[in-house]
Amino acid sequence: MTKALKQLQYQVFLLPILLVYTLFTIYPLLRSFVLSFTDFNGYNKDYNFTGLKNYMKLFADDAIVSGISFTLLFALLSTLIITVLAIPLALILDQNFLTKNIHRAIFFFPSIPSGLLLAFIWGFILSPVSSGVLNTVLRELFGVGPQPWLSDPLLAKLSTIVVATWASAGWHAVLYLAFLQAIPKDYYEAASIDGANRPQLIRYITLPLLAPAMTVSVMLLLTGGLKVFEVPFALTKGGPGFETHTITQVIVLRGITETQYGLASAISIVFFLIVLAIAYFQVTLMQKREERIQ
Amino acid sequence: MKKRAYLLTCMLLIALLLAACSNAGGSEQGNGGDGQAEQNVKISLLSWNNETEMKPVLDGFKKKYPHITIDFQSAPPVKDYIAKLQTMLLSESATDIFIIAAENRNEIIDGGHALDLTDQPFMDTMIESNKPMLSKNGKTYAFTQTGWVGGWYYNKDLFAKAGIEKLPETWDEFVAMCLKLKEAGITPLYDNMQDLTSMHSVLYGNMTLASDPSFDDKIFAGEKTFSDGWTEVFKLWKKDLIDGGILTPDMIGLTGDQIESEFTLGNVAMFFGGPWNISKLEATEGLNFGMMTVPGPNPGENYYVGAPGVGFAVNSASRHQEEALQFIEYLSTEEGLQLFYEGTGALITASNFEAKVHPALQTAFDEGLMAGKVYLPMVAWPRHQEALRNQFVISTQDMAVGKITPEEAAAAIDKKFEEMENK
């Protein structure tokens, strides 16, 4: 009995965070689920239940289809590029050289200011007119004419991915760096005595022991990439046309701009399920990989 | 000891819960002040002009009515303001006075959130052409003392450099003028196509509305379609400006600020703007500018872009309606209008006020705004303004990058309209 009471006492400490989490995450999610079956317009509290109508509309909508495809492209490509860049970067930053700390700070810096602010600055750099910073540099150095960085469908997609990569690669490198420093030096010494060279050390010791870091980093990148809003929005406002609309932007567009909260809630629910499925699949897969290579 | 800690935690939780409940109860009456003494009332106001702009008129009101304090709040136009007011209305915590814009008028009026102001004495100073935007079924729900008109600012020195001596009077002359600027190595025009383009609006005025002023009503009554009224506009725009290389798709990536800067730097000869650009243009040394409209193919029927200003409305759930009405009444007095002008620099259209207009805007003000030759789709459309505006932007950008034809662009708007009607 006293043991149960003691247990209860600790449970009480969980209450505040449980309340906050329920209020700001669980409740809105359940509410969205209910609203996704209604014709709620955001102003009038008298709404009607419309059954599955919103869900039927969902896949016939150009903006949603376009939003899903760009978001998937963005999430997958940015995850891939950032991971490929962050691991070598972490290996370099792990070396002992004079300006090591300054270099770490420089690469970490882009993840400190808000994404929106960075994207607005990049907007000036990538400005499509001839006075844009990048276009000026290209003209002065190589005599290349102005390029439509943010207004050509393909270039606009690539530009947003490049900016997102620039902003996050340093942060993820620091994450890998933390895991790198936790690898015991004995392994390297033992391997060196056995005659392993540098590439072999990386291939057979560093990379396998970085697997847990990779699981975390890739999961953060994938879920963050799927939920992305600010960088594409600030750079292109979703244009040209629907080309760089993300799912989150479509939810705002259908919900707030067009006062179709029911439809926007339905998109949110489907989107939630997609993110859940991808995250679950990725974590299970990568944990299995961790077990296998360790 | 442990028992005491446990008790304390429980008490803290209960206190928190009670505090949350009492807060929810209080917010129901809006931002009500202490109403026990009549001479000491606090009313709240949500505006999209910021505090600096509103300060003169708020100070003037405070001087005249010392017993009324105004709790001033603001959110920048358009989306932020609309979202903030919407949240406030839904949670029954909206301010006593708020503004109604073209973009949210239907939801506010239909939802019964605004008080009917039709018979208030101060409404006499509001000019008739400002009323339709803020009315429904013959009743007016907000008071506006302003209007705005926009056109194309042009750089007189660049025009002279290209040998342009007189402003164009027809569409063909306008296109020829742009090509002449291009030949002289000057970028004629920037248009980022991020909003429903002004060029389309004035062409629609000239090509469609001039011969049938009620065309928009007919679209919304189901007698006409957007394709009927807009396809020719899109075709002309695409043929002469996009295919002619005067507007290029790379302009889509520009922001409004960048376009304004390019104009002040003398890198482009024309851009669309309104009264909000004047202070920056004035502050640029050596910039010699004027404003014109883009003429359409039908001579003598030229339109400007413009609309009534946003209107001040009284929350129908407010506990201090009398004081809120006093504030709006104050806005309509000569003193109130003068102070509002001083703070915001807005174009005052109230009938009891001699408006001060910047010389560059004078023609647009006289021939456009006061002559009723202004058009803004969001004001003319009775429903779904934001959804349609957004579809226009998408269609325009898709046309500019060559993804769709003018016919397909207009059809996409009709499709969106149908979807919104049946949502």
Interface of B with A (CB under 8 A): 2, 6, 9-10, 13, 79, 82-83, 86, 89-90, 107-108, 110-111, 190, 193-194, 249-255, 258, 262, 265, 267, 384, 386-387, 390, 393-394, 397-398, 400-401, 403, 420, 423
Q: What is the mean pLDDT of residues A205-212?
A: 89
Q: Which helix (H) or strand (E) holds B135?
A: strand B135-136
Report pLDDT for B99: 95
| B271 strand-pairing partners | B153, B190
Q: Residue A43: pLDDT above 80?
A: no
CA atoms of A237 and A223, how far apart (whole Å):
21
B403 chain-A contacts, CB cut-off 8 A: 153, 241
**Would you call A43 and B394 a contact, using CB atoms and an 8 Å cutoff?**
no
Domain B30-144+309-351, what fold? D-Maltodextrin-Binding Protein; domain 2 (3.40.190)
CA atoms of B187 and B151, how far apart (whole Å):
18
Report pLDDT for B4: 55
B10 chain-A contacts, CB cut-off 8 A: 12
Q: What is the mean pLDDT of residues B294-308?
A: 90
Contact criterion met (CB below 8 Å) for B175 and B188: no
Contact criterion met (CB below 8 Å) for B143 and B122: yes
Q: Is A187 in a helix, a strand, or coil?
A: helix
CA atoms of A119 and B202, how far apart (whole Å):
33
Q: Residue B31: pLDDT above 50?
A: no
Contact criterion met (CB below 8 Å) for A102 and A111: no
pLDDT tens digit string along B121-141?
999 999 887 888 899 888 999
Beta-carbon count within 10 A of B328 CB? 22
Q: Where in chain B is the domain with CATH 3.40.190.10?
A: 30-144+309-351, 148-306+369-421
Between B157 and A4, where is the model more confident?
B157
**How near does any CA of chain A get to the CA of B77, in Å?**
13
Contact criterion met (CB below 8 Å) for B256 and B262: no
**How near does any CA of chain A get to the CA of B254, in Å?**
6
Buried b (16+ CB within 10 A) or exposed e, B37-75: eeeebbbbbbbbbeeebbebbbebbeeebeebbbebbbb
- What does pLDDT average to over chain A? 89
Report pLDDT for B36: 45
- What does pLDDT average to over chain B? 87
Enter the ipTM: 0.73
Q: Residue B315: pLDDT above 50?
A: yes
Disruptive mutation site among A163, A257, A261, A263 for chain B (greatest number of B CBs within 10 Å): A257
Of B6, B110, B190, the CB nearest to A9: B6
Report pLDDT for B233: 95
Q: In B69-170, which residue ranges form alpha helices assigned H by DSSP?
A: 79-90, 105-110, 156-161
**Vertex A176 angle, CA A170 and A178, to 5°:** 105
Highest mean predicted confidence (pLDDT) among A14-18, B5-9, B18-22, B80-84:
A14-18
Of B2, B82, B252, the CB nearest to A239: B252
**How near does any CA of chain B get to the CA of A22, in Å?**
15
**Would you call A9 and B390 a contact, using CB atoms and an 8 Å cutoff?**
no
Contact criterion met (CB below 8 Å) for A175 and A141: no
Report pLDDT for A23: 93
Q: Residue B25: pLDDT above 50?
A: no
Report pLDDT for B38: 56
Between A174 and A60, where is the model more confident?
A174
What distance lies between CA A154 and its chain's CA centroid?
20
Between B9 and B204, where is the model more confident?
B204
CA atoms of B379 and B381, how far apart (whole Å):
6
pLDDT tens digit string along B198-240?
899 999 999 999 999 889 989 999 999 999 999 999 999 999 9
pLDDT tens digit string along B392-408?
999 999 999 899 999 99
Highest mean predicted confidence (pLDDT) among A183-187, A259-263, B54-58:
B54-58
Evaluate the CA torsion angle B196, B199, B202, B205 in order and state its sign.
negative
Q: Which two tokens stand for residue B133?
A: 């935007």
Q: Residue B37: pLDDT above 70?
A: no
CA atoms of A20 and A67, how far apart (whole Å):
31
Q: Residue B411: pLDDT above 90?
A: yes
pLDDT above 70 covers a percentage of chain A that reads 99
**How near does any CA of chain B get to the CA of A220, in Å?**
29
**How near does any CA of chain A get to the CA of B185, in Å?**
13
Report pLDDT for B180: 94
Q: In A126-152, which residue ranges form alpha helices assigned H by DSSP?
A: 133-142
Report pLDDT for A47: 86
Q: Assign domain B148-306+369-421 to a CATH class.
A: alpha beta
Q: Does A28 touch chain B (CB under 8 A)?
A: no
CA atoms of B180 and B247, how far apart (whole Å):
14
Q: Which two tokens stand for residue A214?
A: 């990779």
Contact criterion met (CB below 8 Å) for A230 and A119: yes
Contact criterion met (CB below 8 Å) for B133 and B104: no
Q: Residue B26: pLDDT above 70?
A: no
Of A123, A153, A258, the CB nearest to B255: A123
Between A1 and B363, where is the model more confident?
B363
Burial class (CB in 10 A: 0-12, 13-18, 19+), A166: middle
Please list, in sequence order, all residues whose beta carbon lies within 8 angstroms of the beta carbon of residue B154, skipping any fewer than 6 positions away: B269, B270, B289, B290, B291, B292
| Angle in degrees, 0-180, between the axes of helices A62-93 and A211-226, rounded to the nearest 10 | 150
Q: Where are chain A's structural domains?
A: 26-293
| pLDDT grade for A294, boundaries at 50, 70 and 90 | low
**Would you call A150 and B265 a contact, using CB atoms and an 8 Å cutoff?**
no
Burial class (CB in 10 A: 0-12, 13-18, 19+), A196: middle
Report pLDDT for B328: 96
Q: What is the pTM of this model?
A: 0.76
**Would you call A43 and B400 a contact, using CB atoms and an 8 Å cutoff?**
no
| pLDDT grade for B19, boundaries at 50, 70 and 90 | very low
Q: Which two tokens stand for residue B405?
A: 């034809």
CA atoms of A118 and A137, how far apart (whole Å):
20
Q: Residue B301: pLDDT above 60?
A: yes
Report pLDDT for A1: 59
pLDDT tens digit string along A110-166?
888 888 899 989 988 988 777 788 988 988 898 887 888 888 889 999 999 999 999
**Would you call B262 and A42 a contact, using CB atoms and an 8 Å cutoff?**
no
> Hey, which CATH number is domain A26-293, 3.30.1540.10, 3.40.390.10, 1.10.3720.10, 3.40.718.10?
1.10.3720.10
Report pLDDT for B300: 84
Contact criterion met (CB below 8 Å) for A237 and A229: no
Q: Residue B16: pLDDT above 50?
A: no
Q: Cα separations (Å) of B89 from B27, B112, B189, B414?
A: 11, 11, 42, 31
A146 chain-B contacts, CB cut-off 8 A: 250
**How near does any CA of chain B get to the CA of A15, in Å?**
9
| pLDDT grade for B289, boundaries at 50, 70 and 90 | very high
Q: How many residues does chain B have?
A: 423
**Would you call B79 and A256 a contact, using CB atoms and an 8 Å cutoff?**
yes
Report pLDDT for B327: 96
Q: Residue B3: pLDDT above 70?
A: no
Report pLDDT for B316: 94
Q: Does A12 touch chain B (CB under 8 A)?
A: yes
Report pLDDT for A64: 87
Q: Does A239 touch chain B (CB under 8 A)?
A: yes
Q: What is the mean pLDDT of residues B140-161?
A: 93
Q: Does A50 touch chain B (CB under 8 A)?
A: no
B258 chain-A contacts, CB cut-off 8 A: 124, 127, 129
Least confident span in B10-19, B101-110, B191-200, B309-318:
B10-19
